[in-house]
Every structure is written in C-alpha cells, then in structure tokens.
Structure 1
Amino acid sequence: MLEVKDLHVYYGAIHALKGISFKVEDGEIVTIIGANGAGKSTTLRTISGLLRPKTGEIILNGVHLEKMKAKDIVKMGVCQVPEGRRIFANMSVQENLELGAYLRNDRDGIKKDFDRVFSLFPRLAERKSQIAGTLSGGEQQMLAIGRALMSRPRIILMDEPSMGLAPILVEQIFNVIKEINSEGTTVLLVEQNAYMALVTAKKAYVLETGNIVMGGTASELLNNEEVRRAYLG
C-alpha cells in the first residue's frame, strides 16, 4: 500500500534521514521504534508532505507523493495524528472533529463518522461542546485520533500516541488503534513505548540516527536480544 524508497531528508545541513526504505501492506499495523532524535517524526512528516525529501520516493498505491502538497496527500487518504496532539485549543470538541472532515462534502458519511468517533470515544460525546484546551491529556489524544478519523483515511500515521499518558490510558489508546485497524484502516505507528508498539503491530522497524538498522515481524523484534536490551529494559 505504502512504499518508502531510499528517502533522504535534511534540516539545513543536518542529514536527518539517510536513505531509509520500508513497506506498509494494506490492512497492517506497522511500527517504527527508536530513541528520541532517531528520525521517527521526520519520517511521518515527510510522508504527510510537511517536509520535502532531498531524494527518494514515497509511493501510495502506485502514486508518487513526494512532490505533492500536504492537503492533496490528505485527499489521497493519508492522515496524521501529530506528536503533542496539536488540537485546536480554543475550539470545541465538535469543531475540532468538523475540521477533520474539511475536505469532505458527503453529509451522511460525515454524520456516520461522527457516530463512529463517539462510539470509540464516549468521553468525547459527553464533552462535544467543551473547549478542547480544557480537556485532559488523554481526552486530547482521543480528540486528535478522532479528528484524523473524520478525514476517513486509508492509512493513518500516528506519532507518539502514548506520550505523557497514564498507563491505563496508554492501554486504552492502543486498544482503539487495534479497533481502528480491525475496521480496515492501515496504521503506521511511531512510538517510544517499544513494548506496547511491538505487541500491537504486525511488522516493525528500528530507526537509529536516520538509518533503519533492523526490520521484521513485530514478534521477532520483541524477542530479539539486542532490541530488548536497547528498548525494552
């Protein structure tokens, strides 16, 4: 479904991604794990069109994305849940969700997706008129995921969805990721909580200082001695 080939990305003189390549098949959950500064967020931002690669290819179902504008990539069915949630703090929960559907005009479909988001996150239904900036961290993460779902993505890119959350909420968010995937949405997950990422995903890659140094099934990496020592304590 998604193929990244020999991707090189720079921030000025800093070589952030050094020729990474990986694939995401339709219907999979694929995770990229790695330390802070490894290039995980840069990878997602480049796929989303927020950063331009110097060289390399990003191909979604045969269509090249690397020179497209971010809004056109959303139209192609790619949506990102950004690190730090990035909700619209001065707007209501309802308005944040409506903005997720800003490229759509299928009123019935949008109503169905509101119902879907509220069934995944009943707490958002209870707070739909509340100003989003007053929500708890966990509720804001739910809103960020719900907002992405409102674009009806074919593939959803998740950047550190468990960051700053209490353990019970981390478990809840990962259960929702599995549920979203079971309903047919492909997931590319970037996550520092390597254990939760590896028990949730089907396939995994390890990113270190802009290079993919390991890849395989998530269970292979979960049982790999080197990965356990470096990322699982």
Structure 2
Amino acid sequence: MLTVEGLEVYYGSIHAIKNISFEVNEGEIVTLIGANGAGKTTTLHAVCGLVKAADGGIHFCGTDLRAIAPYKILGLGLAQVPEGRRVFAKMTVQENLEMGAYIRRDKDQVEKDFQRVLERLPRLAERRKQLAGTLSGGEQQMLAIGRALMGNPRMLLLDEPSMGLSPLLVEEIFRIIEDVNRSGVTVLLVEQNAKKALEIADRAYVLETGSIAMSGAAAELANDEKVRKAYLGG
C-alpha cells in the first residue's frame, strides 16, 4: 500500500534520513520507533511532502507521492495526525471536524462520517460546541484523530499520539487507534512509547540516527534483548 525505497533527506548539510526502505501493507498497523532525533517525524514529513526528499521512491497505492503536491495527498486517501495535535484552537470541535472534510464533495457521506466519528469518540460529542483550544491534551489528540478520519482516509499516519498524555489517556488513545484499524484503516504509527506501539502493531521498524537498525514482527522485536534494553527499559 505504502512503499518507501532508498529515502534520503537532508536539512542543509545534515544527513537526516539515510537510504531507508520500508513498506506498509493494507490493513496493518506498522510502527516506527526510536529515540528523539532518530528521524521518525522527518520520515513521515517526507511521505506527506512536507519535507523534500533528496532521493528515493515514495509510492502510495501505485501513485508516486514525490510527484504530487502535498495538499493533494489527502485526496489519495492518506491523512496525517501531526505531532502536537495542531488543532484549530479558536474553532469549535465541530468546525475542526468539518475542516477535516474540506476537500470532500459527498455531503451525505460526510454527515454520516461526522456522526460515526462522534460515536467513536463520544467525548468530542459532549464538547461539540466547545473551542478546541479549551480542550485537554487528550481531548485535543482525539480531535486531531477525528479530524483526520473526516477525510475518509485509507491510511492514517500518526505522529507521537501519546506525547504528553497521562498513562490513562495513553491507554485510551491506543484503544482508539486499534479501533480505527479494525474499521479498515491502515495505520503507520510513529511513537516514542515503544512498549505500547509494539503491543498494538503488526510489524515495526527501529530507526537509529536516520537509518533502519532493525525490523520485523512487532512481537518479536518486543522480546529482542537489544530493543528491550534500548527502548523498553528492560
């Protein structure tokens, strides 16, 4: 579904991403884990066209994403939930969700998807008319996910969804991610909480200083001694 081959990204003279290749198959949850500065977010930004790749191939369902303007990528069925939520603080919850469907023209289905998002995320339904900037961090993360779902994506890219949240809210966010995946949405998850990411993922890639150091089934990596020592605190 998503194929990245030989990706290279530079920030000026800094070689941020070094010849990495990975794939995400339809229906999977695939996670990229690694320490701060490993290149996880840069990889997502390259996929979405938010940073320019110096070399390599990025294909989604057969389409060359490097040849597509970033604002057109959502129309292909690829949506990102950015690091730090990035909700529209001075707009209501409902207005934020409506913005997620901005490019869609199927109004009847948009309304059905709106109701479905509120059913999946009942806390948003309770705060439908509330300004997004007044929500808690966990509620803003739910809103960011709901907004992305309003684009009716085939694949969701999530960037550090558990960052800054309490353990209880982390559990809830990961439950939501699993529920979204069960509904038929493929997930590429960037996450510093390697333990939780490996618990819900099918496969994982470990990034170290811009390169893929390890890859494999998530359950196998969770039991790997090197991964446990480096990322799982054991």
TM-score, shorter chain, exceeding 0.5: yes
Q: Give the structure 1 partner of residue 177 of structure 2.
A: 177
- 1:14 aligns to what? 14
Give the % identical residues. Answer: 62
Paired AA for residue 36 in structure 1: N
Report if aligned partners of 1:52, 1:67 keep a CA contact under 8 Å in 2: no
Deviates more, 1:93-102 or 1:67-76: 67-76
* Residues 210-225 of structure 1 aligned to structure 2 (within 5 Å): 210-225=210-225
After TM superposition, give the deviation of residue 167 of structure 1 in Å.
0.5
Letter in 2 for 1:87: V
Residues 170-221 of structure 1 deviation map (CA, whole Å, 9 limit, x = unaligned): 0011011011000100000000000000000000000000000100000010
Shift of 1:67: 2.6
Which amino acid in the other structure matches residue 204 of structure 1? A
Structure 2 residue aligned with 1:45: 45
Q: Deviations over 1:147-170 (max 9, x none)?
A: 000000110000000000011110
User: Could you tell me which amino acid in structure 1 is paired with residue 29 of structure 2?
Assistant: I
How is 1:55-66 mapped onto 2 (pairs within 5 angstroms)? 55-66=55-66
TM-score scaled by length of structure 1: 0.99
The TM-score with structure 2 as length reference comes to 0.98
Aligned: 1:101 with 2:97? no
1:84 aligns with 2:72: no
| Stretch of structure 1 that moved more, 61-70 or 221-230 | 61-70
Matches within 5 A, 1:47-196: 47-196=47-196
* Off by >2 Å, runs of 4+ in structure 1: none
Deviation at 1:108? 1.1
How far apart are 1:116 and its partner, in Å? Answer: 1.4
| CA deviation string 1:115-167 (max 9, x = no partner) | 11111111100111101000000000000000000000110000000000011
Counterpart position of 1:209? 209
Residue type at the aligned position of 1:186: T
Paired letter, 2:27: G
Structure-1 separation of matches of 2:125 and 2:11:
40
Distance 2:161 2:93 in 1: 18
Q: How many residues align?
A: 233
Q: Give the 3-state SS of the residue equivalent to 1:164 in structure 2.
A: coil
Give 1:17 deviation, angstroms.
0.4
2-structure distance, mates of 1:67, 1:43: 17
Equivalent position of 2:229 in the other structure? 229
How many angstroms apart in 1 are the aligned matches of 2:173 and 2:59? Answer: 28
* Aligned alpha-carbon RMSD (Å): 0.6
